[in-house]
Homo-oligomer: A and B are copies of this chain.
Amino acid sequence: MSDSDVAGQAGTRGHVAGAFEPSPELGPKPPSQVTGHFSDDNPEMVQFVDADGNRLQTNETNAPFAQIVEDMTSEDARIIYRDLVLVRRIDAEGFALQRQGELGLWPSLFGQEAAQVGAGRALRDHDYAFPGYREHGVAWCRGVDPVSLFGMFRGVNHGGWDSNENNFHLYTIVIGNQMLHAVGYAMGIAADGDVGTGDPERDAAVMAFTGDGGTSQGDFNEALVFAAVTNAPVVFFVQNNQWAISEPNDKQFIIPPYQRARGFGFPGVLVDGNDPLATYAVAKDALDKARNGQGPTLIEAYTYRMGAHTTSDDPTKYRSDAEVEIWKHKDPIKRMRGFMEERGHADPDFFAAVDAEADEIAARIRTACQGMPDPELPTMFDHQYTEPHPVVEAEREEFLAYHAGFAEEGGRA
């Protein structure tokens, strides 16, 4: 978006650079309504587009990342917008499929699209990503077929995709575990010499995803220790969506988590997680540094979980509608579209085409999910070990014999 008067224009709309204001009609700002949250109005928060899609002026906070945004093309903007819309649609489909009984569970990313797409698009092919369980948007950007994700939440497998195909690890459910895997993988990249060579086809980095709650785990903090000490090419991407199931931020920390990194000796950056340009720019900058051998960064993407924790959760038990309302106005898609319309990055046909594509994808993945066969029972014993294992083999035999017996008998009682 190499458009030199972007900043100026934003300025004319009266927005203070770096501040994060919901529209005035919303009444009091979140901190005065909602307890337990942090970082709203934090001048350290990197933003490029305000809630209405206005490009903000360059300021002290976003300046280090401004060039990345300047270098983005209209095409880039359209790619990101398309991602945002498709990802939201895929997510909505997951939700719907769960409600229809096709999936056992669905953890929605609704509200976090910009955080994930910004991060996901900043990754290059030969980088590697370690997700939690809500990173459907990152999965999408890595090229993982959403139907694969459904397999896991349908109970057909524990993650059907080959992580090495898209350099996107399996989802990790035990909070914090994957942060260490990411650091180890990054240590491996460094040991392979694939850092700081200056060859963009070679230098690689790792990105590890967790949530605000995840920052409390020992593994998360040990990952910061190992990353710091080994100067590993890893970026910790914390989506602070304000909630860990029913627990607000103030049950996990008393200062925003981006500051945690500073206690370990490397930079922490706060970014408006609903601003796709900002998340992209901040993530790209951190990844570039990691690839160049400048070590780890922790990014806190300040965002919001618009839906329930998962389809099993009932957020009315612990949070107010008013809070959700506030965040509706910070919606990343609305924001991106406003920005693109204003800047002329796309015409109405484009937006219509994206919506149509979303319909198509939704239909395709719904059908694919509904038609997903149950796995063959004896495959339960497959892939347990890389080499033959007598106990597993014996049990497979036992299982087959037992079922064969049934088939003969026609079942008991």
Residues of chain A touching chain B, judged by Cβ–Cβ distance below 8 Å, are 215-219, 221-222, 225, 228-229, 250-255, 259-266
Number of copies: 2
How many whole Å from A267's CB to the nearest CB in chain B? 12
23 intermolecular pairs with C-beta atoms under 8 Å apart:
A215-B225, A216-B222, A217-B222, A218-B218, A218-B219, A218-B221, A218-B222, A221-B221, A225-B253, A229-B250, A229-B251, A229-B254, A253-B265, A254-B264, A254-B266, A255-B263, A255-B264, A255-B265, A260-B263, A260-B264, A262-B262, A262-B263, A263-B264
Smallest CB gap from A38: residue in B: B265
- Give bound CA distance, A229 to B218, whole Å: 15
User: Distance in Å from the Cβ of A314 to the closest Cβ of chain B?
Assistant: 25
**Additional A-B contacts beyond A229-B252, A263-B264 (19; CB < 8 A):** A216-B222, A216-B225, A218-B219, A218-B221, A221-B222, A221-B225, A228-B253, A228-B254, A229-B250, A229-B251, A229-B253, A229-B254, A253-B264, A254-B264, A254-B266, A255-B264, A259-B265, A260-B263, A263-B263
Q: How far is the CA of A253 from the CA of B263 in the complex (A)?
A: 10
Nearest 10 A/B pairs, CB to CB: A263-B263, A218-B218, A221-B221, A255-B265, A254-B265, A260-B263, A216-B225, A228-B254, A218-B222, A262-B263
Cβ distance A290 to chain B, nearest Cβ, rounded Å: 15
Compute how far the CA of A258 lies from the CA of B361 in the bound complex, rounded to whole angstroms: 52
A195 nearest CB across to chain B (Å): 17
Chain B residues with CB under 8 A of A254: 228-229, 264-266
A253 to B230, CA, bound (A): 9
CB distance from A38 to the nearest CB of B (A): 10
CB proximity of A74 to chain B, nearest CB, Å: 40
A294 to B254, CA, bound (A): 14
Cα A264 to Cα B255 with chains together (Å): 7
Closest Cβ of chain B to A374, distance in Å, is 39
Residue of B nearest to A215 (CB): B225
Give min CB distance, A300 to chain B, whole Å. 12
Q: Is the CB of B225 within 8 A of A252?
A: yes
Shortest distance from the beta carbon of A39 to any chain B beta carbon, whole Å: 13
| A260: chain B residues within 8 A (beta carbon) | 263-264
- Distance (whole angstroms) from the CB of A248 to the closest CB of chain B: 11
In the assembled complex, the CB of A215 is this many whole angstroms from the nearest CB of chain B, namely 8
Q: How far is the CA of A263 from the CA of B250 in the complex (A)?
A: 15
Closest residue of chain B to A257 (Cβ to Cβ) is B263
The interface residues of chain B lying within 8 Å CB-to-CB of A218 are: 217-219, 221-222
Expressed in whole angstroms, the Cα–Cα distance for A164 and B223 within the complex equals 36
Closest to A254 in B: B265
Measured between C-beta atoms, what is the minimum distance from A63 to chain B in Å?
24
> A176 to chain B: closest CB distance in Å?
9
Q: Cα distance A144–B303 when bound, in Å?
A: 52
**Cα distance A218–B226 in the bound complex, in angstroms:** 11
Minimal beta-carbon separation of A409 from chain B (angstroms): 42
A260 to chain B minimum Cβ distance, whole angstroms, is 4
Question: Given A216-B222, A218-B217, A219-B218, is A263 in contact with B259 using a C-beta cutoff of 8 Å?
Answer: yes
